[in-house]
Amino acid sequence: MSALVVLLVGLGLTFVILVLGGLAGRTKNDSLEGWLVHHRGMGSVLLWFLLGSEIYTAFTFQGLAGYSYTKGAAGFYNVAQNDVAYAVGFLVLPCIWVLGKKYGHVTQADFVAHRYDSRWLGIFVAASTALIMIAYIDLNIVGLSAIFKVIGGDAISPVMGNILGFVVLAAAVFIGGIRGNAIQSVVKDLLMFAAVAAVFVTVPLHYFGGFGEMYAAFTAKIPHYFELPSQTARDMGPTWMITTVVMTGLGQWMWPQWFGTAFTATSPRALKRQAVFMPFYQLVKVAVLVVGFAAVIALGTGLAGNDVVMHIMKSIFPDWALVLFVVAGMLSAIVPAGPIVMTSASLLSRNVVQAIRPATTDRTVFWLTRALVFPLTGVALALTLAAPALIVSVLLVAYAFIAQLFPGIVVGGLFWTRATKQGMLAGLLTGWVVCGALMLTGHDPVGGVNAGLIALGLNAVVFVVVSLVTAPSGTTQPLSRTVAEIAAETARAERRPAEASMARAS
């Protein structure tokens, strides 16, 4: 089977999966709340797959192996990051659900604008985070590029492959909404699990003769790859690891598409349940990291990191299996980008356009949101093709930028009644300026400390000081309640489904 046939068959199967998933998700898509948060009716199973698909992307499938291949043990930060984030999510997401249910929030900017009684702060947060998310989409475009480059060689250009892939993505998101994306995620995750398991089992047998021999080779040939700092990443020591895990763990739920999953759940209990079981996905990350270490010995050190997994698959698997791996890789790049595009579109239509022009009807906002899916996807693709150096620079600071929302949203939004809109804005701008100045000038880490965490610390100080010297908004009291009050309301919300079920049974 030629490389072109493998790619075309894989792209065809990907198209079928995306369209069928989108069609299956069309139920209750007659409004923005239905299309974006499925009328807050997402059960635990679909929610688990939806979050897994959004968090475990092309970076996990391809990029993480490349990270351990080039940076060594520093790649394990990504495993620890998610475990910290799930603990934070267990505590925070149910609170967001309670407030979202009560006040009708469907986006992160809804939450911010309502909490601080500031339409313009909501517009600012919506517009800025939408731009950051467009840059994040390009991480998945890079994953697609690696597939077309390694598997296809010169059979099909990566540019054409990316265009085809993201046309399919935009169409599937337009049709299916968030529920369709969750159904697509089930197929994507099952294929990704199978692909990672196949590679994890086959690599040690094919290149080393067994798992024991592979780990012995790690000890004998590349022990420095398992040190912090390693020889290939001298500036990534234990302090960098700890501070990076803290910064990214706190920042994970600040991504609007992940924050918004709190609004899709049927109850706070569904969110707590997914936080407990999501760490099972971490087994995939550990397996992929091991494959990256094995590639250092099996393939040498001259490859681009993102290409490692596809090089291994191409060298040891038959064409029919390669087709399935191509489908898994394409879905890992395309499906997670869906909620990012949807959230960006909803932020611009609902929290920018409708906020500026309140006369815009909800129905108009709904169709504008769906229509924006296509130009937003096109902008992300065009930026990648036209200015790759710029996109790389933006991606270096994107996670640290998003983490700067934590003080204003979590601390001020949920627990501290004295927080003000001036405090959040001043802290946010401080964090972004410091973060950008440090990271874009190559000063990351600073003395071993992640630059994003330094920016977050200064952000928090400014947030508190400015809040204390400015007057709180009139609507802060109903939203910023104590931990005990939120916990009590969350418990009542969790009991209601169980009480209804018992009443029906009797």
Place of tokens 């199973």: 45
The share of the chain scoring above pLDDT 90, in percent, equals 25
Over the stretch 133-192, which tens digit does the pLDDT of each residue have? 877 777 777 677 777 777 776 666 767 766 766 676 677 666 655 566 667 777 887 888
The domains located in the chain, with CATH, are 3-387 (1.20.1730.10)
pLDDT at 323: 87
C-alpha pair distances (Å), 16 with each of 12, 306, 367 = 6, 26, 25
Question: Is the preceding omega at residue 445 within 30 degrees of 0, hence cis?
Answer: yes
Region of poorest pLDDT, from 42-56, 296-310, 449-463: 42-56
Is pLDDT above 60 for 325?
A: yes
Helices (H), 252-335: 256-259, 268-277, 282-299, 308-316, 319-334
Q: Compute CA 467 distance to the chain's CA centroid, rounded to the nearest angstrom.
A: 30
C-alpha pair distances (Å), 383 with each of 8, 165, 391, 441 = 25, 16, 7, 22
Question: Which DSSP symbol is given to 270?
Answer: H
Average pLDDT in the 229-248 region? 86
| Identity of the highest mean pLDDT range in 18-22, 99-103, 201-205, 495-499 | 201-205
What type of residue is 97? W
Question: Is the preceding omega at residue 318 within 30 degrees of 0, hence cis?
Answer: no
- Residue 447: helix, strand or coil by DSSP? coil
Over the stretch 201-220, which tens digit does the pLDDT of each residue have? 999 999 999 999 999 999 99
